[in-house]
């Protein structure tokens, strides 16, 4: 089959970012202790915990899980009211020293916490996975023509991290930047 004739995999709505990241992580890594910084409603944390990961949401807001969500096959799961409070939650702003209790720190659209997560991983020898969206509340000045995500990769590399990237199949900012030096690998 030529490149031209290859079927194009349609990108999903960005609402499926949790399901796609869950699928990618569980295919690649053995379960570990995860902090979902700025985890919001906790859907990623819920999905990962269903796959054996020990996940804590760190977020100053106490938001319930959505009442229903679809998996990647478009099957619907309904959660009862009593199932919608994600059990493991630190209801506080993220502080670097919180990293010491986890193997992997995830920041998906974690406003203002991306650089702090990198600093924390450096200090405590942990891995990070970031899906950064914007520079809001980060200790960096946005300069014209300078891509924020590239700046973040540079920032981590200057601290000695071997940064990897991966694009997930959804519409919008879908670039994941991550390290996996300390994680148990299932596949490359
Ligand atoms: C844009 S939402 C992202 C939520 C979810 N990760 C997602 O992808 O939909 C940003 C989240 O970061 C949380 N947040 C804001 N400041 C924070 C901080 N200092 N530490 C941890 N979480 C924070 C907000 O409460 C909010 O839930």
Predicted structure pTM score: 0.94
28 ligand 1 Cβ < 6 A: no
C-alpha 38 to ligand 1 mean position (Å): 3
Strands 127-131 and 33-37: unpaired
131 ligand 1 Cβ < 6 A: no
For domain 14-178, give the fold.
Rossmann fold (3.40.50)
Q: What is the pLDDT of residues 146-175, one digit of tens each?
A: 788 999 999 999 999 999 999 999 999 999
Q: What is the pLDDT of residues 8-32, one digit of tens each?
A: 679 999 999 999 999 999 999 999 9
Atom of ligand 1 nearest to the CA of 36: 6
Calculate ∠ Cα 40-46-49, nearest 5°.
Answer: 135
125 ligand 1 Cβ < 6 A: no
């Amino acid at each position: 089959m030529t490149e031209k004739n290859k079927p194009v995999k349609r990108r999903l709505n960005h609402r499926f970012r949790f399901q796609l990241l869950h699928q990618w992580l569980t295919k690649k890594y053995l379960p570990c202790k995860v902090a979902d910084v700025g985890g919001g409603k906790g859907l990623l944390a819920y999905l990962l915990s269903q796959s054996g990961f020990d996940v804590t949401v760190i977020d100053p807001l106490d938001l319930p899980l959505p009442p229903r969500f679809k998996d990647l096959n478009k099957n619907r799961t309904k959660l009862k009211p009593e199932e919608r409070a994600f059990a493991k939650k630190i209801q506080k702003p993220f502080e670097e020293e919180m990293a010491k209790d986890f193997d992997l720190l995830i920041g998906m659209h974690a406003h203002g916490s991306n650089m702090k997560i990198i600093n924390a991983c450096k200090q405590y020898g942990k891995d990070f996975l970031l899906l950064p969206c914007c520079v809001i509340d980060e200790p960096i000045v946005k300069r014209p023509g300078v891509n924020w995500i590239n700046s973040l990769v540079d920032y981590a590399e200057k601290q000695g991290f071997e940064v990897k990237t991966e694009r997930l199949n959804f519409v919008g900012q879908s670039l994941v930047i991550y390290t996996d030096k300390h994680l148990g690998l299932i596949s490359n």
